[in-house]
Structure 1
Amino acid sequence: MAQGIFAFFCTHAAGLTGSFQYLVLILLVVASLAIPFWQWFLVKFGKKSAAFVGLSLIIPAFIILVQVTHSFITFALTMILVGCSTASLFLLPW
């Protein structure tokens, strides 16, 4: 559901019609690469700290996504931040 909403946002609001698949690819690759870091962080500092830090990373990313349009480079860099935040959420059920 979130990818559908993000696709709609990229297509109509941000003006990045052909770039959605690249942005999602960047997000998923960064999230996959960041999982070992978040696992270490979770073991060292605890689940609550990992959730707080991970979720706090996504707030500036959402602000940037809403404010900037028609800039693939800015969206790609923002997807790196969103990917790091998403990786922290993958480990919370553990």
Structure 2
Amino acid sequence: MKKIIQTTIQEEGKSYQDTLRAIEDELLATYGCLLPSGEVTVTLVMPWTKEGVLGELKRQGKILAWKLDKAYEEGNNRRYLITLDADRI
């Protein structure tokens, strides 16, 4: 039982880091090195199973908000609009 819990925690940590890295990569791809001041929104396509990670990032203050784009659905993937504070990045 303990090994299963540790594996789950490790998987969640990897999912958290992968999601945060994907947001940062999309931010750089969209804005490059010249980030505007204030709130910025990036679009990210990822599996719906990572919605919990987006909630965790919001609770930790790493992102301001996220919203599901209901017009997009491709298999397991969904499109999310993620709002960040560029001044805090």
Higher helix share: 1
RCO comparison, higher one (Cα < 8 Å, 6+): 1
**TM-score for both structures, normalised by structure 2:** 0.33
Give the TM-score, by structure 1 length. Answer: 0.32
Name the one with the larger strand percent.
Answer: 2
